[in-house]
């Protein structure tokens, strides 16, 4: 079985604010969505949808605005990475912002279990 290797040359700022989380030189993802998000962003960039520096500018801004500069934690980093991609995608008009806002509200309601009315607690996994 062959494994695909992604050439990250130009995509990683090894010592900078936007450096990808690594352990022993390997990229670290805490959850499958993080790897999928990363792969999507790299794929779109390599396909010419945007320049990596455009994305990186948004990522650095999100990290700065969050005040959470310990981006070694993949849970923190990929939330910031996702927000940066959303900003870039909105700027590039990859989607209709109004539709995304409506979907975000609907998904938040589902996650908060606002879709049903009964008395019991749900376990919350973060």
Q: What is the pLDDT of residues 59-100, one digit of tens each?
A: 999 988 988 766 677 888 899 999 999 999 989 988 887 887
104, two tokens = 């975000």
Contact status, residue 55 vs residue 11, Cβ threshold 8 Å = no
**5: pLDDT strictly greater than 50:** no
Q: Would you state the pLDDT for residue 66?
A: 86
Return phi, psi of residue 79, to 5°. -65, -40
Q: What is the pTM of this model?
A: 0.66
Q: Where are the beta strands (DSSP E) in 1-126?
A: 22-23, 26-27
Task: State the first-to-last Cα distance of the chain, in angstroms, to the nearest integer.
Answer: 34
Q: Is the dihedral of CA 96, 99, 103, 104 positive or negative?
A: positive
Residue 108's SS3 state is: helix
């Amino acid at each position: 079985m062959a494994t695909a290797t992604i050439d990250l040359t130009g995509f990683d700022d090894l010592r900078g604010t936007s450096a990808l989380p690594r352990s022993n030189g390997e990229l670290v993802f805490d959850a499958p969505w993080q790897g999928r998000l990363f792969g999507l962003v790299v794929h779109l960039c390599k396909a010419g949808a945007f320049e990596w520096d455009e994305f990186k500018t948004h990522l650095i801004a999100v990290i700065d605005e969050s005040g959470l500069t310990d981006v070694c934690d993949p849970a923190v980093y990929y939330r910031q990475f996702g927000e940066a991609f959303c900003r870039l995608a909105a700027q590039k008009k990859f989607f209709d912002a109004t539709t995304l806002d409506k979907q975000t509200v609907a998904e938040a309601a589902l996650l908060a279990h606002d879709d049903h009315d009964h008395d019991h607690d749900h376990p919350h996994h973060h």
